[in-house]
Structures are given as C-alpha cells and as structure tokens.
Structure 1
Amino acid sequence: MKTKRKIVLFIAQSLDGYIATKDDSLDWLFNVEGEGDNGYSEFFDTVDTILMGKRTYDWIMKHENGNFPYENKQCYVFSRSAIQDTPFVTFINEDINRFTNNLKNEAGKKIWIVGGGELLFSFFKEKLVDEIILTVAPQIIGEGIPLFKAGDYELNLSLKGTRTFNQFVELHYEVNH
C-alpha cells in the first residue's frame, strides 16, 4: 500500500497565539532575532505543493510586489469565487475535503498549508492536517488573527521534536488521527 502524502502546517505565531495583527501585519515577526532562515529552506525542500486561502494569496502578492515566491511548486488557492488561474496558481472553489484527499493520494512530496486563519479552521475541523511545525516568536501582540480559531473541533497531537533559532522556538507535532 502506498503512503499518503502529508499535509503540514508550517507557520509562525506570537506567544499569545496570533499569526498576524488584526490589520494583517507581520512586522512583529520581523522584529525578532532569528537564526538563518529559521528552518524555512530546510522545510521548503520537503514540499512540492502549496495550499493557501485567497486572503493570504492577496497579502503575499501585495507584499512581494506581484512576484509570486512559490513559482517552482504546484500552488492551489482556495477561493469562494471563480478566479482565472495564473501561470503559477490554480484557484480552487470546490469541497476542501474531497479536493485535499485526492491531492494526498497523488504521488509527490509533502503538502504545505500556508494559511490563513479561515482556511486553517476548515482544515483543522475536517482533520486534514497531518503535522504542525509551529515557530513561536517571543512577542505578545494582544489581538489579531488567531492560529487556532474557536470552534467545534479537537486535535490530539504528539510532540516529534523541538528546536530553537535564537529567539524563536520551533515545536514539531504529529496529528494523531
């Protein structure tokens, strides 16, 4: 039996659990002294497919001045409306569970779910995430977009390991299905 591909959430959060401020700023994250790229390149080499929500896609395109940073990966963006695909992105407006399970059955490397908050909530609720690599920044921002939105779901995790990158702490969990 062939092994299913894993969906991995690789993300940073503030110590108080937010992935961005309420105005979508990540400035707080860049004020923390890390080490190298905090494990990003190492992780990025393990994935060949990227999933994200439309709001995250729009944020990336704005902050990267229109230069899409994941051109060498298969990228799917979930959107509630029909949008024309780009050379680097396929826009998805279908059942998350069905689409994702089909993707997990295809040959390939790991699948990275980048964000954002609404899409992550759906993935957590449907138990589609297999691993969580969470980098915690020593910043408290008080309010913003929570990583774990309140809702009717539970995840049972097993700690696979921890690492530090100067002021950042990486927690690596496997989701027990």
Structure 2
Amino acid sequence: MGRIIFDTAATINGWIADENDSLAWLFAVPGGDEPAEGLVPSGAAVMVEGRTTYEWVLRETDILAHPERWQEFHGTKPAFVFTHHELPVPEGADIRFVSGSVDDALPAIREAAAGGDIWVVGGGDLAGQFFDAGALDELAVSIAPAVLPGGAPLFPRRVGPERLRLESASAIGQFARLRYTVLPPEPVR
C-alpha cells in the first residue's frame, strides 16, 4: 500500500496561501513557478485536493480554456477533489469529486492509486483531516523565503513532536525542504 503524503510550500511563518487564497507569493520566489526536482512527489499515482485549491488552479491557469495545462501539472493521474459544490472539469482530466469524509473516501482513493503514493496537494485543513483519520504518512514542506501577515495555515492541527520524525532537511534553490514521517499515536497506558 502506498503512502499518503502532504507535500506543499509554505512561508517562513507557516502560510500556504495568502488572505485571498492566492499562491502568487509562491510564484514570486525564484524557482516557485517551476519547482526543482525533489520539490514535489513525482511518483504519486493519485492527487487529492480541496475545493479552494482546485478552484485556484482553474482560475489562475485558465485551464478550462487550455485543458492541456491540466496534463502539464497533473499528467493522467486521477485527482480527487473534496467539495460540496458543482465544479467544472477540464476536458480530458480525470477528476473525481468527493463530498464525504476522508474516512469514507479512502477506499476509493487507495483503489485508484493501485498501491502507489497519494499526494495531498492542498489545503492544510484537508491534510489535517487525513491526519485525523490516521491516514497521513508523511509531511513534506518546502519553506519559501517569504512572510505573509495572514492566510491559510500550513496545518491547522496541534501535532506534538512525538508524532513527527524528521527524515531530511535540505536546501533546494531558495527553499528549505523538510520531510517528516508521521508516527502513529502512542498507545494509551
């Protein structure tokens, strides 16, 4: 069974999007518009994202008018989008809308991944729901040289150091890359 990885970029002070749910701050960082090798989980078989992330991609890349742009980022991977809204789908994209809980959606997501890794692209609250379900295996963060006054938090959950084990820390371009294994909770005694 593949791993479920939340892999994202964040500002030094822990925001993944600004107050307007925009990632423009990220694309202003050298290398932020085209991540260097090692900054995204290229081997993921399935991508998972929330409605806000999905709508931002549709809006900012004009993907409905240029569906080939979907393939540039997502390839032919299935993408599960958690939403309670009707949303458009780029031509040729394998989008699977989910309106239930992470627990309810996990069997279908794992089946689509066929043993491969699952990349939770965004947002932080959705990744937190995977954590709450005991399904998040890895947290990878590329810290960008930027600071925002507010926005969408990286991971809006309290997670103690007993649940995260640092696997690697490196510099990739302008980013500080941190990878953590998410450990199971300690048994209650």
Instruction: State the identity %.
Output: 27
Amino acid at match of 1:8: I
Shift of 1:85: 6.5
- Match of 1:77, SS state, is strand
With the length of structure 1 as denominator, give the TM-score of the two structures: 0.83
Query: In structure 1, what is the equivalent of residue 110 of structure 2?
Result: 104
Query: In structure 2, what is the equivalent of residue 175 of structure 1?
Result: 182
Query: In structure 2, what is the equivalent of residue 94 of structure 1?
Result: 100
Whether contact under 8 Å (2:39, 2:142) holds in the other structure is: no
Shift of 1:42: 6.2
Shift of 1:108: 2.9
User: Structure 1 residue aligned with 2:140, among 133, 141, 154?
Assistant: 133
Query: In structure 2, what is the equivalent of residue 165 of structure 1?
Result: 172
Q: Structure 2: how far apart are the matches of 1:146 and 1:128?
A: 20
Whether contact under 8 Å (2:12, 2:143) holds in the other structure is: yes
Q: Structure 1: how far apart are the matches of 2:39 and 2:174?
A: 18
Q: 5+ residue gaps in structure 1?
A: none
Amino acid at match of 2:131: F
Further displaced range: 46-55 or 31-40: 31-40
Amino acid at match of 1:53: G
Q: Structure 2: how far apart are the matches of 1:12 and 1:85?
A: 25
Whether contact under 8 Å (1:134, 1:172) holds in the other structure is: yes
Q: Structure 2: how far apart are the matches of 1:122 and 1:25?
A: 22
Q: Structure 2: how far apart are the matches of 1:124 and 1:22?
A: 24
Q: Structure 2: how far apart are the matches of 1:25 and 1:107?
A: 32
- Match of 1:43, SS state, is coil
- Match of 2:55, SS state, is helix
1:28 aligns with 2:25: yes
Amino acid at match of 1:95: S
Whether contact under 8 Å (1:7, 1:110) holds in the other structure is: yes
Query: In structure 1, what is the equivalent of residue 36 of structure 2?
Result: 38
The count of aligned residue pairs is 172
Query: For the aligned residues, what is the CA RMSD?
Result: 2.5
Further displaced range: 160-169 or 10-19: 160-169
With the length of structure 2 as denominator, give the TM-score of the two structures: 0.79
